[in-house]
Amino acid sequence: MSTKEKGVKDRILETAVRLFQTQGYGNTGINQIIQESQTAKASFYDYYPSKDLLGKAYIEFYGKEQLVLLEKLQSRSENARDFIEAWTHILRRQTRNSEFAGCPMANTAAQIASTSPSISEEVKKLALRTVDLLSVYLKEMQKKGQIPKNADTQSLARKIFASYEGVLQIWKLTGKISALDDLPEMVEAIIKSSGKK
C-alpha cells in the first residue's frame, strides 16, 4: 500500500473512530464518514467494503490503544491498588471530555446486538485479551505477596473487568462521575475476598 493510500485509509478510520465514539456505531452513517473524512465514495469502499469491516477496524484500533494504556499503567504502579487508582484517574479524565461515551467495546456490542458476527467476534477477542492481561498482572502481584496465594487470578481478572464495565455503566446511567470512584474500593474488596474459601 502506498503512502497516499495509507493516508486515505487512516483518515477514514480516524474519522470513524471519532464519530463512533461520540455518536455511537449505530447512529453514524457511511455517508457522514465519507463526507467528514473528505474521501471519495469509491475510495471509501476500496478500503472498507462494508460498515461491518470498518466497525471491526474500529474495535481493533481501540483494543490496541486500551491494551497499551493498561500495560503502561501496570508498569508504573507499585501494586494493584495504585494500578486501579491510576486507571480510575484516566477514566475520570476521559469523562470530563464531552465526547467520551464510555467503553467503546461495550457500547458497540450493545448497539449491534448480534447483527454483526465479525464485530461481535472482535469485541469478544478484545474482552478476553483484556482479562488475560489483567490476569497476568495479578499473577505478578501474587508472586509479590500482594494477592492471596490461593486466589484464582483469571477469575479475579474477570471480576475486576466486570467492575470496570459496571462503574462506566453507572456513570452513563446516572451522569454522576463519582460512580467511577467506586472502582478502587470494589477491586480492593474483590482482592480481599479472593483468598477466602
d(CA 137, CA 141): 6
Residue 73 structural domain: 55-194
Identify the three-state secondary structure at position 102.
coil
Q: Is residue 173 situated within a structural domain?
A: yes
Q: Number of C-alpha atoms within 13 angstroms, CB side, residue 67?
A: 17
Give the pLDDT confidence score for residue 100 in this predicted structure.
Answer: 76
Start-end of H helices in the chain: 3-23, 30-36, 41-47, 51-76, 80-96, 104-112, 117-143, 153-174, 182-194
| pLDDT, tens only, 74-130 | 999 999 999 999 999 999 988 887 667 788 888 888 888 677 888 999 999 999 999
Q: Residue 139, class by beta-carbon neighbours within 10 Å (0-12 exposed, 13-18 middle, 19+ buried)?
A: middle
| pLDDT, tens only, 28-51 | 999 999 999 999 999 999 999 999
| pLDDT, tens only, 117-129 | 889 999 999 999 9
Q: Which three cell numbers stand for residue 44?
A: 471509501
Q: Is residue 129 situated within a structural domain?
A: yes
Better pLDDT: 24 or 130: 130
**In this structure, what CATH number is given to the domain that contains residue 118?**
1.10.357.10
Q: Is residue 38 situated within a structural domain?
A: no
| pLDDT, tens only, 149-169 | 999 999 999 999 999 999 999
Give the pLDDT confidence score for residue 6 in this predicted structure.
Answer: 65
Q: Which three cell numbers stand for residue 31?
A: 455517508
Q: How many domains does the chain have?
A: 1
